[in-house]
Structure 1
Amino acid sequence: MSKITNYLQLLMTKAKGYKSSRSNSKRFKAFYMSSKEDTRSDGAKIIDFSLIRIAFFMIFFLLINTYLYSLLASLAVTVIVISVGHYISLTIRNKKLEYLKGQKRFDIACKKVYKDILNKTIDELREFVEQLYKKLGFMNLKEIYKNNNIIIHEATYKNEAILVSFYAYKNEDFVEMKEIKETLSLLKKMKIKKNVLITTSDFTKDSWDFANLLSKKYRVLLIKKEQLLKLIENSNMFPTDEEIDEIIENTISRRRAGWRKYKNALLAKNKSKSYFLLSVFLILGAFYTPFSLYYMTVAGLSMGLTAITVISRVLNSKEKETDNYSLFNQLYNE
């Protein structure tokens, strides 16, 4: 009985540790190593990896055998060389993986923060920026202006009066010079010499130039999107590891759903007849062309697709009937 209890506790521990360890799982590692340019599936990557290793093995074996003239010795040396090369490649790959993991998780967190900021109501945005300002060391915060995407606060920083403006703009909407001029009029009116302007996008070139011109009389600090995200990260206001893992999990699920869509299109119900007719046409055509081997090979592949399509259709129809019954039965019992 104690063994069964210990075994159940072990299963529960593994289940609890799933979420904490899934960031290092195989599917997450594959996600970190993936890129927009590389559209291969996981299976295709494994096949390519294996074929490259086999090719290297054969090349090294043939080269070494030309010098040693001994199959056994050549095989032993080749195994050693390939093993050392594999170890070195794994070391390099692991370092690359760690770098890409940190970079992709940071990019995902940045996108989530940016999206959340733009989706906030004006009251939620005010609460967020005030929380950020307090973490950055601003005190005595007082809101003096707000609209749909702009909030201006009066505050003190290191015992000095300062004006802080926040512009929740989309990437393509830059903060223009006229908006800096508007804050300048507030500075003059309130007799404040320092101003911080923060945006979720960037500033126009005229804005940067104008801020530099004001540096003789006023201290104007412009903080663009990338700098803002760094400040948010340093203030411990980034998404948690669990939230980032959930986003990655959803991304992986969407990708797999996309591959399933392509597979379903390839093995669609109406394709089996087309594959079969193509096979027959190629087999007949093989007798009237000098490329008979090529025709017969493609005909074999097409016939294989025919068989796979028919089998897949039969299996899917049975699963669908079972799933429909189970779903209806569950809904009915509720």
Structure 2
Amino acid sequence: MAFQRKRAPAHDPLPSPRVKAVVFDRYGAPEVLRAIELPMPQAAAGEVRVRVRAAGVRPSDIALRSGLGARAGGRGGARFPRRLGNEFAGVVDQVGAGVSGFQPGDEVMGWAAAMSYAEALTVPAEQLVPKPHTMTWAVAGALPSTGQTAHAALRQLEVGAGHTLLIHGAAGALGCVTVQLAVAWGARVIGTAAAADHDYLRTLGAQPVADDDGGIERVRALAPGGVDALFDASGDDGFAQWLQRIAAARALSLSPRHGLPALRSQRSRERLAELVAVHQRHGLLVPVREMFPLTRAAEAHRAVERGPARGKVVLMVYEAMPLSLLRLSA
């Protein structure tokens, strides 16, 4: 009788890890956002993979999702699905060839082009800096892009020690970071805001004024010779009358409608590292007003769309299981 060799039972290969990411398949209201599963990204040479813990939600994300840029003559021929998110914080879990200075387990913060609404992402190592232990995940995820925009605006306006700076919309997320940076650099800051936010601006070191006609007159009393620089951190239509009635050596606005020079927000590791240094020396923070799980990105967008408010909206990602455990448990 012939003997047959016993064969081991066949096993399916271990499934490849997958991660959730928020995408949209068409321009529209927040409801177009949905979470899908994508293959785990792999860090290429010069890149680092980060397991995201927090991602800031910015007005530019809302503009991209709604198609405002496309309707205004932006890049055509958009390919869907598209992703969102330009700032994040998380934990390194893979380092590509040629990268030094980072290793798995490092807590980092950084920026990426329309991809941070995800459980994991890969970015060039030069777009990351270490996250201070004194900074919460939510704040670290909300600061990189907003903070660099504020930094770039002040550099473009040439604000420094001894200057008087007027910030329109000073209590908003961008405005309050701009206030803190300018104060840290030795400038005198006057900030417009609703009355309910005046005490808050005082804690940041700014002189608050109303964001109406009365505020314009108050600024003219505080700075009878005009201000050195005027920055519109809100981008609203009401800024036009401030331009007309407040003498300013230099002015800059988020909105191109006012005929001012365009804001050049040039991001760099050095710029982000300087923001971290200001945090460590002066307590620079971006206030966080609401946090939502990643899968509730539509609700987060609706919160931003409700209008100007103090602080940032942030998407939070619950701490993911390490890849080694994912493989063991498969």
Asked if Structure 1 and Structure 2 have the same fold, meaning a TM-score greater than 0.5 normalized by the shorter chain, the answer is no
Q: Could you state the TM-score of these two structures normalised by the residue count of structure 1?
A: 0.26
Tell which has more relative contact order, 1 or 2 (C-alpha 8 A, sep 6+).
2
Between structure 1 and structure 2, the one with the greater Rg is 1
**Larger helix share, 1 or 2:** 1
